[in-house]
Structure 1
């Protein structure tokens, strides 16, 4: 069974990567980008799920920056708009990337990356902004609800980035009890599911989250992953919208 579980984990990760590429091409976010993350963390608190990790991930394809010169100019503009950030540069035969991190924030890690390929014109470039942490407290809530956060996104991105929010935690609930409870509190309708003895991966739709992914049968904007750690152990729970971006 352990071997089969590992196989299912691998399948799930590959599915996540594929879905991310689909979403990146088709989904855009609106204002108040951090609210989905706040909704999920609030449910974790209400349901007494011990939070282990959270991630806010935003990405934009810089389609109008089709030369290295244009991308490098954009990087210089960002450096002006984000004073005090530490910038580093890496280059290989295939690509170059710029990474920036702000002054250290307690219980939170921020990273900004600009990636561009070394290919024939046009250049393929992306900008990625990620905020993550292992603790959730009033400081983190304030960060995502402060107008400065939305202003930061407006400074970093040229258009509307694709946004993913994921939260990972654990509880003492049994796996077969945790799933229906989460679906109920999220007011979610199950669309697709992979259910094994010690592992469940469910795609669903919830009106709590505005954006969705079209599939063959219905729209989905929520993924739930649940893994049992055995008799007497905790149940690992991951919730993400529109898909999970934390390994589970």
Structure 2
């Protein structure tokens, strides 16, 4: 139980991790990783009940408060139907825009911090939903390409994550199910945590191009599976290059 709390705490620090991963991914060349993951999970009869796409960029061209404010106002004008709020002091500034449409929620965040007069600014876009169907599958690539074009000025790092559950009672043990998932995701395990009701794996998959360094190795997919026992449903979360959904 203690190990589980540790791993969940680590995965919960997603925001900090995301801000420290370099901007290496250009906007969605080819098929989105989210669609690849969804296709694999659906082939395994896994019900998708939550998904998210997350993109961020360090805005190196915004050097002072005036430029940051100008960029923020530009986004507000581009997305006038979104609900915007700003919270700032002498050191930190955060502007957030949110749009809720049906089961989907979109958000834009402009985060800025001043250290010795030097500003570091990040812009973050996220779209997430609780329904995965043909309509979403067809609309997401266009929406993501459009948003990235409108919001970002350089290369955006993109993160994909899916949460789901097995439709029927799982016959395999958790380690065997993890081994199977690693196989179908064409992934080689790097690190793992195994308990009676919970198992997680950090791995490298040939399906995804983005990587994150873990020690001397590169990883680009995380998988977590939980079975509470006593007839409870087995759930899982898959993310590339890391998990961005709490579980």
TM class by shorter-chain length?
0.7 to 0.9
**8 A Cα contact 2:24 2:155, kept in partner:** no
**8 A Cα contact 1:227 1:236, kept in partner:** yes
Q: Does 1:78 align with 2:70?
A: no
Q: Structure 2: how far apart are the matches of 1:121 and 1:4?
A: 41
Q: Structure 2: how far apart are the matches of 1:80 and 1:11?
A: 37
Q: TM-score, normalised by structure 2?
A: 0.88
Q: Structure 1: how far apart are the matches of 2:242 and 2:130?
A: 19
Indicate the RMSD between aligned Cα atoms, in angstroms: 2.2
- 1:105 corresponds in structure 2 to 101
Deviations 1:40-66 (A, max 9, x none): 112221111122211111111112202
Q: Structure 2: how far apart are the matches of 1:126 and 1:33?
A: 25
Q: Does 1:164 align with 2:159?
A: yes
Q: TM-score, normalised by structure 1?
A: 0.88
Q: Report the Cα offset of residue 187 of structure 1.
A: 1.2
Sort the Cα spacing of 1:4 and 1:115 in 2 relative to 1 into closer, same or farther, 3 A. closer
Question: What SS does the aligned partner of 1:73 have?
Answer: helix
Q: Structure 2: how far apart are the matches of 1:110 and 1:75?
A: 16
Give unmatched runs, 5+ long, in structure 1: none
**Runs of 4+ that moved beyond 6 A:** none
- 1:193 corresponds in structure 2 to 192
**8 A Cα contact 1:51 1:136, kept in partner:** yes
Q: Structure 2: how far apart are the matches of 1:137 and 1:38?
A: 11
Q: Structure 2: how far apart are the matches of 1:19 and 1:100?
A: 22
Q: Does 1:54 align with 2:51?
A: yes
- 1:130 corresponds in structure 2 to 126
Matches within 5 A, 1:220-239: 220-239=219-238
Q: Report the Cα offset of residue 18 of structure 1.
A: 5.9
Sort the Cα spacing of 1:118 and 1:98 in 2 relative to 1 into closer, same or farther, 3 A. same
Q: State the aligned residue count.
A: 243
Give unmatched runs, 5+ long, in structure 2: none
Deviations 1:96-139 (A, max 9, x none): 2211123x322210001112225542222111101111111122
Which deviates further from its counterpart, 235-244 or 148-157? 148-157
Which deviates further from its counterpart, 114-123 or 235-244? 114-123
More strand by share: 2
Question: What SS does the aligned partner of 1:155 have?
Answer: helix
